[in-house]
Structure 1
Amino acid sequence: MTPAELLIDSFLRVPPIIARAVDDLSAQQLAFRPAPGTNTIAWLAWHTGRGQDVQIAALEGREEVWTASGWYDRFALPFGPGEMGFGMSAGDVTRVVATAELLTGYLDEVTERSRAYLAGLSSDSLDDVVDENWDPPVTRGARLVSIVNDCLQHAGQASYVRGILERA
């Protein structure tokens, strides 16, 4: 398995986890919070897609799927197109309202674009420095691992909240 294949496999594991977390849930259930100030399933699923989309688009030097494919308009959230969820207040989290179909559709398209990008990477390109604002500077490989790690953590959190919801 090449490094690109390993990364592709990692990214492809995220959508099924999110799909199981949101499957057959109502808007009210997707907005469930297990405790005050915690993230909702809808926010976790949306942020998983947005975080991946923003960062992969930056690495590839292309427009985000969010705006290029009209997802921003379809979601119709009360935020600008650049919002991705980092640093959102607890109140803003509750304003992320979407159907399971929107959430999974967006993440599926983002993941497919990520897969296509990753398939074109050489092993050597993973050592390219993509961000010199850190010490040590961040390589493409380290950034990709960070992205998939964040996605898997949020997907797991969404699954956990789903489990709490089912027992509530």
Structure 2
Amino acid sequence: MSAKDLLVDAAQRPAQVAGDVLEGISGDTLHCMPGDTQNSIAWLIWHSARQQDAQIANLSQKQQVWAAQGWDEKFDLDRGPDDFGFGDGPEDVARVRVTDPDLLRDYLNAVTSATVDYLGTLRDSDLDQVIDDSWDPPVTRGVRIVSTIDDAAQHLGQAAYVRGLVQDSWRGKY
């Protein structure tokens, strides 16, 4: 298995977890913020998709799926095109509200598809290319891709935890 094949597999896993977390979820559970200050499931899934979308678009030098496919209008969150929730406080988290959880699932799936498409354009040697030398050690394309996938996976794990915390009867696959 090539490094690229591993990245494709890893990139698809957060969307699989999101599907499980969102299955049969109520609006109250989706938007509940534990302690009224922690991230809601809606925000966690939205942010997971947004950060990956922004970073993969930057790497691929393409427009973000968010704007290119009209997700910004579908979500209607009154956020700038480059806003993906980094540094959001409780009030910002509370404003990420959707009436249909499928919107979150579908956007994350669209971002995952764009990520997999981008990975398909790369050679293994492309993963070694330094793309940010402001870090020590400098960041390669492969390391940046892994960090976007890791960020999404961590936030989806948090979403699963929040669902179990908020809805006692819920038992996910993971």
Structure 2 counterpart of 1:32? 32
- Residues 109-142 of structure 1, C-alpha deviation per residue, up to 9 Å, x if partnerless? 1100100111121111101011122112100011
Query: 1:26 Cα deviation (Å)?
Result: 2.6
The answer to whether the 8 Å contact 1:78/1:95 transfers is no
> Does 128-137 or 105-114 show the bigger shift?
128-137
Does residue 2 in structure 1 map to residue 2 in structure 2? yes
The aligned amino acid for 2:8 is I
1:1-150 matches, within 5 Å, as: 1-98=1-98, 99-150=100-151
Q: Distance in 1 between matches of 2:41 and 2:161?
A: 9
- Residues 56-104 of structure 1, C-alpha deviation per residue, up to 9 Å, x if partnerless? 0000000000000000000000322221010011110000001211000
**Identity %, equivalent residues:** 43
Q: Distance in 1 between matches of 2:23 and 2:78?
A: 24
RMSD (Å), alpha carbons: 1.1
Structure 2 counterpart of 1:164? 165
Q: Distance in 2 between matches of 1:82 and 1:116?
A: 21
Query: 1:27 Cα deviation (Å)?
Result: 2.4
The answer to whether the 8 Å contact 1:127/1:140 transfers is yes
Q: Name the SS for the 1:163 alignment partner.
A: helix
Q: Distance in 1 between matches of 2:150 and 2:12?
A: 12
Q: Name the SS for the 1:39 alignment partner.
A: coil
Q: Distance in 1 between matches of 2:97 and 2:23?
A: 15
Q: Distance in 2 between matches of 1:115 and 1:97?
A: 27
Unaligned runs of 5+ in 2: 170-174
The answer to whether the 8 Å contact 1:53/1:110 transfers is yes
- Alignment: residue pair count: 168
Q: Distance in 2 between matches of 1:34 and 1:90?
A: 11
The aligned amino acid for 2:39 is N
In the superposition, the TM-score normalised over structure 2's length comes to 0.93
Unaligned runs of 5+ in 1: none
Q: Distance in 2 between matches of 1:121 and 1:81?
A: 26
Q: Name the SS for the 1:135 alignment partner.
A: coil
